[in-house]
Structure 1
Amino acid sequence: MSIVLHELVGADETRPFSPHCWKAVMALAHKGLPVERKAVCFTRVPEVEGGVSKIVPVIRDGSQVIADSFMIAAYLEQAYPDKPSLFGGDGGLAMARFVESWTNSVLHGAMRDIALMDIHNALAPADQHYFRTSREARMGVTLEKVAEGREAALKALPATLMPLRLTLKSQPWIGGSSPLFADYIVFGAFQWVRVTAAGVTLFEAGDPVADWFERCLDLHDGLGRSVPAAG
């Protein structure tokens, strides 16, 4: 029986874009588990699995329902120990928690400033209203005001990515010799922009981060490339 994954989409249900949902998608593929992917828009999230969560991703595995991408990865690791490990042990789990904190607190802010209006414009009208009102209440400014910082965010991005760049100069994956959940955490942030923001160049030529991202897109039979870049 397949694991059911509820993932966020905009007006085009074939273009899932949530960085957190992409983490779960890649984690399930890493484990080699059959999955049934179900598209859900912002305003329908409260209906998912009887209202178990205010956010997606959410998975249902038999009688088990789990929300939050990190909790999903931890569940998969425990429930399917015979499948390829997402963490490579307790040290990898601890490392992934740090990578998650850095990504959420630093990288997602940069990606948000770059792609915010593109995300809004990709939504259906009802979801646009929800997205605008909820985000503007959270940020205290209009979406347009945040979008004014797009060029500044792009200009600052190379410095923002320096810790990642230095790591990937000496090893092919954040996880070391092979990808782990830590890689999928960061991948999700870049895939978020790739899928939503047309004409955006995130990486400079020859950047090890760019090469790593291309390798991530090729993983699991090109799963990341199954959704074309925004254009």
Structure 2
Amino acid sequence: MAILLHELVGSDPQRPFSPHCWKVRLALRHKGLDFRTVPVPFTGVASIEGGSGIVPVLRDGETVVSDSFAIAEYLETAYPDAPSLFGGEGGRHLSRFVESWSQRTIHPFVSTSRALVSIHDSLAAPDRVYFRQSREKVFGKPLEAVIVGDEERLAEFGKKLNPLRSLLERQAFLGGDVPLFADYIVFGAFQWLRVVTPWQVLASDDPIADWFERCLDLHGGEGRQVPAAA
């Protein structure tokens, strides 16, 4: 039985955008595993098997796992002879740090930038209603008001990326000479932006941009299977 990956999509089922789903896509390719994707709209997440109420969800035979990091840990245990996602136990713990940093540095910027409205506009009608109501409840104002000033906030966001930038000036990947799950965590956040908006937040000569291009080429160009937003 093929591995199934339930991943979040908008009105176009061929354009998954969730950063967490992209982490798992690359993790599966890293392990050399074949899988089939199951597109899920926002309003369908609650009905995914396993009842976790989140995406991604992975089914491998009789095993169902939700949460991107838990899926990576499962793949590492279930397929120990395939290339490691963590490079050892220390790498697993460091990946937790990278996840925490990414979700507190990159994700807040993306989710309050023009990408927020772009995601809304990419959804089917029922999902647009859900997305707008749920996000406006969190922010306490219309989506269009949330994103005001994102261009001005970009410079400060760029400064927050300096630790990542400094590392990638010295090595090809966060994992060193080869990518690890830590790379896929950060890649997922930038792929989120790439898929939903044509807005360029990285200069072409930024070491992070070079790293991102390398990541897009990994595993037969898995990241490039979905074209950038136009």
What is the TM-score with the length of structure 1 in the denominator? 0.96
What letter corresponds to residue 28 of structure 1 in structure 2?
L
What letter corresponds to residue 39 of structure 2 in structure 1?
A
Q: How much does 1:204 deviate? A: 1.4
Matched with 2:200 is: 201
1:1-231 to 2 correspondence within 5 Å? 1-49=1-49, 52-114=51-113, 115-198=115-198, 200-231=199-230
Tell me, in whole angstroms, the C-alpha distance in 2 between the residues paired with 1:139 and 1:176: 38
Tell me, in whole angstroms, the C-alpha distance in 2 between the residues paired with 1:229 and 1:58: 24
Tell me, in whole angstroms, the C-alpha distance in 1 between the residues paired with 2:188 and 2:57: 16
Q: Structure 1, residues 120-142: CA drift from partner, whole Å, max 9, x if none?
A: 11001110111111111122232
Q: Structure 1, residues 164-208: CA drift from partner, whole Å, max 9, x if none?
A: 00010111101111100000000000000100012x112113111
Residue 87 of structure 1: SS of its match in structure 2? coil
Q: 4+ runs of 1 displaced by more than 6 Å?
A: none
Q: Structure 1, residues 134-174: CA drift from partner, whole Å, max 9, x if none?
A: 11112223211111132123232320211100010111101
Whether contact under 8 Å (1:2, 1:33) holds in the other structure is: no
What letter corresponds to residue 29 of structure 2 in structure 1?
A
Whether contact under 8 Å (1:55, 1:68) holds in the other structure is: yes
Residue 86 of structure 1: SS of its match in structure 2? coil
Whether contact under 8 Å (1:157, 1:202) holds in the other structure is: no
What letter corresponds to residue 93 of structure 2 in structure 1?
A
Task: Mark the runs of 5 or more structure 1 residues left unpaired by the alignment.
Answer: none
Residue 113 of structure 1: SS of its match in structure 2? coil
Residue 175 of structure 1: SS of its match in structure 2? coil
Residue 37 of structure 1: SS of its match in structure 2? strand
What is the TM-score with the length of structure 2 in the denominator? 0.97
Task: Mark the runs of 5 or more structure 2 residues left unpaired by the alignment.
Answer: none
| Aligned-residue RMSD, C-alpha | 1.0
Tell me, in whole angstroms, the C-alpha distance in 2 between the residues paired with 1:73 and 1:65: 13
